[in-house]
A and B are shown apart, each in its own frame.
Chain A
């Protein structure tokens, strides 16, 4: 890692108050949706953010998109903190960081023509006159594999896969440096998924755009991401270059995730860790290591002391007491 990262997330926390009552709500506690998360994204690279529902991956991505204020911590784009941006500076940030969401049926305004949807960020940023915008929309439609004349159609005339291409074109319009991809293929059919993943990779190669890929499917992450961050109950449990992680999984939770992946083959699964029980409530997370209630390798200290992220090999960090001794 030579150059400075494009985006840096430092000690990010998001605690949602949880209360009762209608008029004068009493705050009973906080849901620690994201609790001290740090990572970096390099320009033109993909970071995969993996975990099960409720692990905080989507909340993290919403904070990066400036849709949610962090409770604590900072997010820096090109070393500039993003959360006190106002007016023109905020618009400039929005042009640089874009998003594609999971559900292609919810992410396009049904009352807007596709061309207008794609042009949205150009229009709000006063990017150019109508002819210039129309030319850019045409270019974008071609780039995502659609036909220019489809700009005149409404979203309901498109299939799920085509809609996701439109959503991608709209995200690309302002030439962003980072696109948050929140489960971009999981709502698509198997044969369409591969098309979308290839397209995303092609566009990254052409435009040198960085991706934050939020996903639950490890195989997708393996094909897309350069680095992978694994989250559990608001915490980062393991972080590594994707190839290194897939070659050598360390954290027991990550191991369990890998065991749960169902391979499209009938030949037996590898060593299996079946997790007992369910993810505990983030309202009242377990003490110490948050995974200790389900961990097959649990030790007495796991319930008392929270493990810190330690480097187990270059670039590969794990938050688990099992690796305390082996670390330098």
Chain B
């Protein structure tokens, strides 16, 4: 027995906010990070808020009570327990608008990720597996999509099609599909080299069958990781577009719209813009942390994403 006992090499560098979010109790060496309970809790709360908005919201998110306008949150001088997070310039309850706003954010995220992610997944698989001319054409399309001014296009869409959820979803899907397609295609190129794909051909599988039964199940992990890592992107895009007035039209509350409406009063009534801002930050941070963890669990090769 002649070995100096050194601390195990588990003291991996952890960034400050990670330590704050879930302080480490054990120092055992480990492969993957611990389950991120705090982010999961935040995401769950927001999802529950969105689903049960009519039950949870203390006030209507739309009705204006002008005599109560610009009340500060409850913990501040002049705040009222009637409006826990204060009110905006039209006297609407910020908490209620926040709760209803979560609906729009999550609905847009769900629809845009399904549409954009689905297109990207399909293009990536077809392009990567078939290769050749199909691949060349599809990948040039992807390149074009990357140079596409999505915000400008969304504004254009809003003008021609009118503001609304549909416009928002189409605009964000167009922003999303290209990066999905590129990552999935890379994955498929590697999979195509695996012997089981050649063997599937030898067994008599058609190209469509190989893509569906052999390629697709093997890229689903990557796809799920991409989806979670992109939830944040979508929420921010929705907020940006709503802020610019290309999103869901007022008075329907969305977090981006709330920031937009509050920005003029940032000096005297900062809470109107800051509270939805904090909500966006918390949600995006949580889904990203959750996405990081999921990626490490499912597919450590994707670390560079």
- B204 interface neighbour in A67, A95, A107, A112, Cβ under 8 Å: A95
A99 & B204 in contact (Cβ 8 Å cutoff): no
A67 & B201 in contact (Cβ 8 Å cutoff): yes
B204 & A121 in contact (Cβ 8 Å cutoff): yes
Please give, as numbers and ranges, the residues of chain A lying within 8 Å of B195 by CB-CB distance.
101-103, 106-107
Q: In this assembly, does A17 line the interface, its C-beta being within 8 Å of a C-beta of chain B?
A: no
A110 & B218 in contact (Cβ 8 Å cutoff): yes
Contact with A along B164-208 (1 / 0, CB 8 A): 000000000000000000000000000000111011111111100
- Least CB distance from B220 to A in Å reads 8
Q: In this assembly, does A147 line the interface, its C-beta being within 8 Å of a C-beta of chain B?
A: no
A124 & B217 in contact (Cβ 8 Å cutoff): no
What is the CA–CA distance of A147 and B52 in the complex, to the nearest angstrom? 52
Please give, as numbers and ranges, the residues of chain B lying within 8 Å of A109 by CB-CB distance.
196, 200, 214, 217-218
Q: In this assembly, does A305 line the interface, its C-beta being within 8 Å of a C-beta of chain B?
A: no
Secondary structure dominating the interface of B: helix
Closest to B191 in A: A109
CB contact under 8 A between A94 and B203, given known A107-B195, A108-B196, A109-B196? yes
Please give, as numbers and ranges, the residues of chain A lying within 8 Å of B205 by CB-CB distance.
120, 124
B204 & A91 in contact (Cβ 8 Å cutoff): yes
Contact with B along A119-130 (1 / 0, CB 8 A): 011001100000
A67 & B198 in contact (Cβ 8 Å cutoff): yes
Closest to B197 in A: A109
What is the CA–CA distance of A124 and B213 in the complex, to the nearest angstrom? 12
- A101 interface neighbour in B199, B203, B206, B213, Cβ under 8 Å: B199
Q: In this assembly, does A276 line the interface, its C-beta being within 8 Å of a C-beta of chain B?
A: no
Closest to A124 in B: B204
- A106 interface neighbour in B196, B201, B203, B204, Cβ under 8 Å: B196
Closest to B220 in A: A111
Contact with A along B226-263 (1 / 0, CB 8 A): 00000000000000000000000000000000000000
Q: In this assembly, does B82 line the interface, its C-beta being within 8 Å of a C-beta of chain A?
A: no
- Least CB distance from B197 to A in Å reads 8
For the complex of A and B, the 5 pairs showing the least CB-CB separation, nearest first, are A107-B195, A111-B217, A121-B203, A94-B204, A106-B195
8 pairs, CB–CB < 8 Å, chain A vs chain B: A67-B198, A67-B201, A98-B202, A99-B202, A107-B195, A120-B205, A121-B203, A121-B204
New A-B contacts (9) at CB < 8 Å, excluding given A121-B204, A124-B206: A94-B202, A98-B203, A107-B194, A109-B196, A109-B214, A110-B218, A111-B218, A112-B217, A125-B204
